[in-house]
Chains A and B, each alone.
Chain A
Amino acid sequence: MQLSENPSIVPARELTFSLRLYVAGQTPKSVLAFTNLKQICEEHLLGRYEIEIIDLLENPQLARGDQILAVPTLVRRLPEPIKKIIGDLSNTERVLVGLDLRARQ
């Protein structure tokens, strides 16, 4: 699977993923998003990912820094560049594309 046209960029599949999931309270959407994310990570990033969950109801001041608008929002902080995926992550294909784990069709 070719991830990048540019050979100097290390393919994302070899790096550790630092992920942040922004939610606002324990809503069905946020629970679903977390479940979906966990499943995708276990399947595609086993052993090289970390997930930090930020509840904006508890830490509202954090919304601004990462430009959070929608919830749930998944932010891929590492590897760079930063990527954002919004929604309940129910479409696995799109999540993989958004995380650069699969080439855009």
Chain B
Amino acid sequence: MPLGNATEVNRMQRPTSDDERRRITRGGEAPKTPTGIPGLDEITRGGLPRGRPTLVCGGPGSGKTLLALTFLVNGALLFDEPGVLMTFEENEEEIASDVASLGFDLPGLIAARKLAVDYVRVERSEIEETGEYDLEGLFVRLDYAIRTLGAKRVVLDTIESLFAGLTNDAILRSELRRLFRWLKDQGVTALITGERGDGALTRQGLEEYVSDAVILLDHRVHDQVSTRRLRVVKYRGSHHGTNEYPFLIGADGISVLPVSSLALQHGAPLERVSSGVARLDAMLSGEGYYRGSTILVSGTAGTGKTSLAAHFLDAACRRGERCLCFLFEESPQQLLRNMRSIGIDLAPWVAAGLLEFHADRPSRYGLETHLVTMYDIVANFRPTVTVIDPVTNLMTVGTHSDVQAMLTRLIDHLKTANITAMLTSLMPGQTDIERTENTISSLMDTWMVLANELSGDRHRRKLYVLKSRGMAHSNELCEFVITNHGLTLLAAAGPAREAANDVDLASLNRDHHAVI
């Protein structure tokens, strides 16, 4: 956030304290408490404001409680920061069983004194109100739990329930104000959840009291596909991403799409990896693709895109590398059978655990879910090579801009992890290649085009390298055949500007490369 803007927001909300003014004018970021939630710490540049309350709001089922619990559990397990959960809606057992499926062992953490759960039950029908009171009982309980554990993190879920249990709104509001100030004085990083209200962030306007940071969770269903999104509405004294970021509640809990690397800061490795086709390597200045680069293989149906990908996977597995293959068109069994028929047997690599297939129908989830699922799989399997076949099937799931944003993130993520990625792109027949592909082509390092050309009474398979950044690649349109020994490039056909012999071609390209 620019300096002027931050100051203005503060003026609008409440007078800026000296401490905050110093922080803003210094231009430094306030200290942060990491949530340990993949992606969220990147968006917030380090986590939640340390020692201050943060509000997380969203509708029912938007994942507020889960986010809050993850914050506590990660604090206890990863950052040695014990935490206190004060829950107003579910008791200890209910919460523990809710999150057990995510692998959170709440009873274990409680026994290890890394977590305390205090269930506050407020039932209006059981309470008679007469005269003045305050919520000191709540403070005492919280204070006792914090002291007992030496807690650094506190979650209040969902404190608005108090309004349903007690009738005196005036007392509640002044006590909430006091509570949030008190939490700051304790120096704990607090996360307060609030139910989304009509035309306001929360039903009871909690954002008025908790103004250091506000995170909004949203759960939308569009075209029968549900999407969860997260947005940092406000973060006082810190830069933060202002976009809506998709997030997923998967088997391993919450993950928000990492975006840290969108600044184009990946390294540029010089190492090369073979395409698995000897003469194709020759066309790519003799050595194949760059490791960590992204390769697009486009062509109409039946041009041999998957075969090229299979060669690449096979070559990588032969080197002992771990490979992931996402299929959006055929099943792993179909692919294995088809590739075996052209002499590429991938089954042993699958058996050896080097190659893993993930097949899914594109329409099964929304784009974000696909993306986050793929992130999770990549993070767990840790491949060095990833193939997506065909990436174009994913494009049917969302709008043009959504797809572009998603692919940018995905490719970016793979590059950051130095994973060499091959994406195949199925083009409808008779279209201008370079226009059709403008969604993603600029993200690609190497782009190869496959085509079938009718010649007399048979069709010939052709391949050319449209671009390959950072290397002197061949500009030739090269014919190839697919036999039961795989895909083989024929010696240069047509007007042979480059040598007919692939060895010569390779050496020629090496010379080019040396000059560059």
Contact = CB atoms under 8 A, between A and B. Distances in A.
B137 A71 contact: yes
A70 interface: yes
Contacts of B102: none
**Max count, chain A CB within 10 A of own CB: residue among B118, B120, B140, B162:** B140
Interface stretch (B124-132, B282-290, B456-464): B124-132
A84 B166 CA distance: 12
A84 B123 CA distance: 10
A36 B140 CA distance: 24
Contact of B128 (A57, A61, A69, A94): A94
A98 B130 contact: yes
A90 B132 contact: yes
A97 B137 contact: no
Contact of A85 (B122, B127, B137, B139): B127
Contacts of A3: none
Nearest to B127: A84
A95 to B, nearest CB: 6
Interface in A34-51: 36
Interface centre among B133, B135, B141, by most chain A C-beta atoms within 10 angstroms, is: B133
B138 interface: yes
B137 A87 contact: no
Contacts of B129: 85-87, 94
A63 B144 contact: yes
Given A63-B144, A64-B141, A56 B126 contact: no
A98 B138 CA distance: 22
A24 interface: yes
B130 A29 contact: no
16 contacts: A22-B137, A33-B131, A61-B144, A63-B140, A63-B141, A69-B120, A69-B137, A69-B138, A69-B166, A70-B138, A82-B126, A84-B126, A86-B128, A88-B132, A91-B131, A94-B129
B140 A87 contact: no
Given A56-B140, A63-B141, A70 B131 contact: no
B137 A29 contact: no
B136 interface: yes
Contacts of B136: 24, 56, 70-71
Given A24-B140, A63-B140, A63-B144, A69 B130 contact: no
A91 B126 contact: no
Contacts of A21: none
A88 B144 contact: no
Residue of A22, A56, A60 with most partner-chain B CB within 10 A: A60
Nearest to A82: B126
Contacts of A67: 120-121
A3 B143 CA distance: 41
B432 interface: no
Given A60-B144, A63-B140, A29 B118 contact: no
A19 interface: no
B131 A60 contact: no
Given A70-B133, A82-B126, 5 more contacts: A63-B137, A68-B140, A69-B162, A90-B130, A90-B132
Given A60-B144, A69-B120, A24 B130 contact: no
Given A24-B140, A60-B144, A63-B140, A71 B133 contact: yes
B131 to A, nearest CB: 4
Question: Which of A24, A63, A84 counts the most chain B CB atoms within 10 A?
Answer: A63
B131 A89 contact: yes
A87 to B, nearest CB: 4
B140 A72 contact: no
Given A24-B137, A56-B136, A57-B140, A84 B120 contact: no
**Residue of B121, B128, B129 with most chain A CB atoms under a 10 A cut-off:** B128
A49 to B, nearest CB: 17
A77 interface: no
A68 B137 contact: yes
A73 B162 CA distance: 16
A17 B482 CA distance: 94
Given A60-B143, A67-B120, A91 B137 contact: no
A83 B132 contact: no
A90 B132 CA distance: 8
Contacts of A71: 133-137
Contact of A70 (B121, B126, B137, B144): B137
A84 B128 contact: yes
A20 to B, nearest CB: 13
A81 to B, nearest CB: 9
Contacts of B130: 85-91, 94-95, 98
B438 to A, nearest CB: 61
Contacts of A87: 129-133
